Amino acid sequence: MMKTSGQENDGNTLVKVGSEYRVLALQSGELAQMLADIGPMSAFDVPRIHVPAGGYTMWTVPTPRGEEDMKEISGVILYVKPARVFWHVSYEDLGGGLPPDCSSDDLLVGVGDPGGECPRCPFNQFGTVVRRGGGRGKACRELRLLFMALPTRLLPVVVVAPPTSLKRVKQYLYSLASEGKRSYHVLTSLTLVKERIGIFDVSVIHPRLVQELAAEEMDRFREIVEEMKPNWQQIEVTSEDVREEPSM
């Protein structure tokens, strides 16, 4: 975490700040420029980390050298994007990377087909879809995209929190807020725990607060969030983000 050292100079303490997070060494605007240099990216180009199927408790993390299995993802959650998504075709029959027929970023109003008020939408009701194995759930799915800074990376990873992990994720974020903390104020660990839901073994995200960050880190992460939030808000959920999820 943050390391500090001070020395006296004319009665004032000089604090030299260093951090293990490479992104904090960037100047304001550099992160956005890096993305601009890469060129336009669609929702389908942004690498994701998905919760595995069947109760598997290892993350598969994409890296420039290929995929790596990790027991834990530890970093700073910079931004949480909520989303509702709906396809008229069943999830099991969806092709790779298809955009939703209807979606909502505020969880209140859907845009597309059928569109309209999410709480009143018939597809946002339990029992509106039947999946393999007899599971019943909502045809419209609610997810969270977690934009997470890792120590060795300049660009954040995107962890997809599916419906089965929403309760744990929302409880964790609520507990932070109850203490006056934002997600980018702390180091968070994400592990996977095998749980039984109906007839399915599922992998559920278990977030845990590891350590509160130093004030200098909090301030710099806040600046990064303000700089990058418009870009992150444009990232959408695709069919690949929901295909492995059991009935909820």
DSSP β-ladder status, 102-104 and 72-86: antiparallel
- How far apart (Å, rounded) are the C-alpha atoms in residues 34 and 166? 32
**Cα atoms found within 13 Å of the Cα of residue 215, Cβ hemisphere only:** 1
**Cα atoms found within 13 Å of the Cα of residue 185, Cβ hemisphere only:** 10
Instruction: Tell me what the mean pLDDT of segment 132-136 comes to.
Output: 58
- Do residues 146 and 134 make contact, with C-beta atoms less than 8 angstroms apart? no
Share of the chain above pLDDT 90, in %: 48
Query: 18: pLDDT confidence band, cut at 50, 70 and 90?
Result: very low
Share of the chain above pLDDT 70, in %: 81
Q: Which of 42-56, 115-129, 200-214 has the lowest mean pLDDT?
A: 42-56
Alpha-helical regions (H) of the chain: 30-38, 163-178, 215-232
Query: 51: pLDDT confidence band, cut at 50, 70 and 90?
Result: very high
Q: What is the pLDDT of residues 92-109, one digit of tens each?
A: 666 666 788 999 999 999
Instruction: Tell me what the mean pLDDT of segment 133-150 comes to.
Output: 84
| Number of other residues whose CB lies within 10 A of the CB of residue 55 | 16
Query: 14: pLDDT confidence band, cut at 50, 70 and 90?
Result: very low
For residue 6, what pLDDT is reported? Answer: 34
Domain ranges in the chain are 3-241
- How far apart (Å, rounded) are the C-alpha atoms in residues 20 and 37? 25
Q: Quote the pTM value.
A: 0.84
Output 66 or 192, whichever has higher pLDDT. Answer: 192
Q: What is the pLDDT of residues 168-216, one digit of tens each?
A: 999 999 999 999 999 999 999 999 999 987 777 889 999 999 999 999 9
State yes or no: pLDDT of 42 exceeds 90.
no
Query: 247: pLDDT confidence band, cut at 50, 70 and 90?
Result: very low
